[in-house]
A and B are shown apart, each in its own frame.
Chain A
Amino acid sequence: MRLKLNLKTLGLALVAIVACAASYLIAADHIDSPAVTGTGSDITDVYAFQSPANANNIVFVVNVQGLLAPTATAAASFDEEVMIEINIDNSATKDNTEDLVIQAAFDNGKVKVYGPEAPIQKGVMSTLLKSSPIEASISAYGANPIIGESNGIKVFAGPRDDPFFFDLNQFKAIIGGTATSFNNPGTDAFAGTNVLALVIEVPKSMLGSGSINIWATSNREM
């Protein structure tokens, strides 16, 4: 299989590159913990990539409320008490504390995106930034995407196809001891399901230089 052979070819050369950055393992983050499963704060996946449309920009995607059936998607909505935060460590030492945050709050049919900006508060408690947000109406199921744009930043919030793919059920069978290997072809457990997506495109110049470490959080208003 090509990916495997490529990986093998790279061999030890990868070690140096990845020593501080390695990552890995199984079913994204859908329904990962008791406190968030079935709530508006359950993050399913996080993506960060250079914009296919503009090499000067980075795109952040944070998806919530996974495994939505098409019949349930029109009625799904962002929880207005939940703020989604993209945390950015752009320090030279990579101490994994947030130097910048991008915050998305949902209010009265709109997404309001603040930052990137230094956080008012670091750690597990967050304070909503006080700068003017970029707003967009939350896109409705079946309608064209509504895009908010200001200062070179683009924002979107609304239902999308879940971009994650994985034969989760066969993996569970293997872990559970009722199967010993994957099938070929496998079955994508996320095919035909939707998520509520937050997509934010930001100029790289607002984020730092070299590389950054990022993580997404969902946060409930107190």
Chain B
Amino acid sequence: MMKTTLKYLSMIAFLGMVITFTACDDDDDNDMPVNIIYEQEDQMARPAINTVFVSTGEKDIFNTTPPAEQGAAFATKFNDKLLALNPGYTTNLLGLDAATFTGVLATDVLTVSLNAPTTFYDGTNVLTGRKLEDDVITVELILLFGGPDAMSNPGLTDDHVDANDKSFSDSFPYLASPH
């Protein structure tokens, strides 16, 4: 008799657990997060690429073209733009002719080294990242206007703004406090 009672009690307890778990499952289903979907609007890697090389009517299209597809869609247009900005362009300090240079630029990604100094250019390393203090504009002006020896168009190869107006910090989050 005692055994039978215990047996029934176990069954009831077991059923109770099943019901409880079932209820939990139902709750989980109701709380299951739905997919939150986003559509891309802006895109950037190297500084000023869209601003300088993309024509007014295509800036939104450039921003919503994945990098893997940008080269095919924009390299020729970038080449035309470079020659419009600097009709005398032959090669630049990197030895890249117009088509090669703009072919690289049209795929807008930033290479970041995981085992070497990270900088846009520090006198030794080139395009291994972008630090806050890197004078990226002067580097770009030299490559656009400076010719093969960086000596062409001396009035166009340095904007003479060499540093930020506030100092950066060596500790997180590194950017200066707001004005």
Name A residues whose Cβ lies closer than 8 Å to a Cβ of B: 1, 3-4, 6-8, 10-12, 14-15, 17-30, 32-36, 39, 41-43, 45-53, 58-59, 61, 68, 70, 73, 82-83, 85, 89, 95-97, 120-128, 130, 141-142, 145, 147, 154, 156, 159-161, 163-167, 170-171, 174-175, 180-188, 190-194, 197, 199, 201, 204, 207-222
Q: Are A212 and B112 in contact (CB under 8 A)?
A: yes
Task: Tell me the bound Cα distance from A126 to B152 in angstroms.
Answer: 45
Query: Is there contact, CB below 8 Å, between B48 and A28?
Result: yes
B114 touches A209 (CB 8 A): yes
Annotate B47-74 by CB proximity to A: 1 below 8 A, 0 otherwise: 1111111000001101111111000000
Min C-beta distance of A53 to chain B, whole Å: 6
Q: Is the CB of A23 within 8 A of B105?
A: yes
Render B141-179 as a binary contact track against A, CB cut-off 8 A, 1 for contact. 011101001110011111111111110101111111111
Measured as residues with beta carbon below 8 angstroms from the partner, the interface class of chain B is: 35 or more
Check B76 for interface membership: any CB of A closer than 8 A.
Answer: no
Q: How far is the CA of A164 from the CA of B153 in the complex (A)?
A: 24
Contacts of A216 in B (CB 8 A): 43-45
Q: Would you call A73 and B178 a contact (CB within 8 A)?
A: yes
Contact A95 B114 (CB under 8 A): no
Is the pair A221, B37 in contact by a Cβ cutoff of 8 Å?
yes
Chain B residues positioned under 8 Å from A213 (CB to CB): 45, 67, 109-112
Query: Are B174 and A59 closer than 8 Å at their CB atoms?
Result: yes
CB <8 Å contact, B161 and A128? no
Report chain A residues within 8 Å CB of B129.
Answer: 47-50
Interface residue B137 (Cβ < 8 Å from any Cβ of A): yes
Decide yes or no: A58 and B38 within 8 Å by CB, A97-B66, A141-B178, A167-B159 being known contacts.
no
| Complex interface: chain A residues within 8 A of B26 (CB) | none
The reply on B119 being an interface residue by CB < 8 A is yes
Q: CA separation between A11 and B108, bound complex, in Å? A: 24
Choice from A25, A51, A130, A190 contacting B47 with Cβ under 8 Å: A25
Cβ-defined contact, A97 with B178, below 8 A: no
Interface presence of B5 (CB below 8 A): no
Judged by a CB distance under 8 angstroms, whether B132 is at the interface is yes
Most-contacted residue by chain A among B62, B66, B140 (CB, 10 A): B66
Q: A92 vs B178: C-alpha distance in the bound complex, in angstroms?
A: 40
Query: Which among A8, A20, A163 has the greatest number of chain B C-beta atoms within 10 A?
Result: A163
A125 near B40: Cβ-Cβ < 8 Å: yes
How near does chain A come to B75, taking the closest CB pair, in angstroms? 13
Establish whether residues A48 and B130, one from each chain, have CB atoms under 8 Å apart when the complex forms: yes
Instruction: Assess whether B43 is in contact with A215, with CB atoms less than 8 Å apart.
Output: yes
14 additional A-B residue pairs with CB within 8 Å, beyond A46-B130, A52-B171: A4-B151, A15-B94, A24-B46, A27-B48, A32-B59, A34-B59, A49-B129, A83-B38, A161-B179, A182-B156, A182-B160, A213-B112, A218-B43, A221-B38
Does A21 contact B60, Cβ atoms closer than 8 Å?
no
Q: 1/0 per position for B117-148, CB-CB distance to A under 8 A?
A: 11111011011111110010111101110100
Q: Is residue B104 within 8 Å, beta carbon to beta carbon, of the partner chain?
A: yes
Does A21 lie within 8 Å of B164, measured CB to CB? no
Is the beta-carbon distance between A218 and B41 smaller than 8 angstroms? yes
Chain B residues lying within 8 Å of A15, measured Cβ to Cβ, are: 94-96
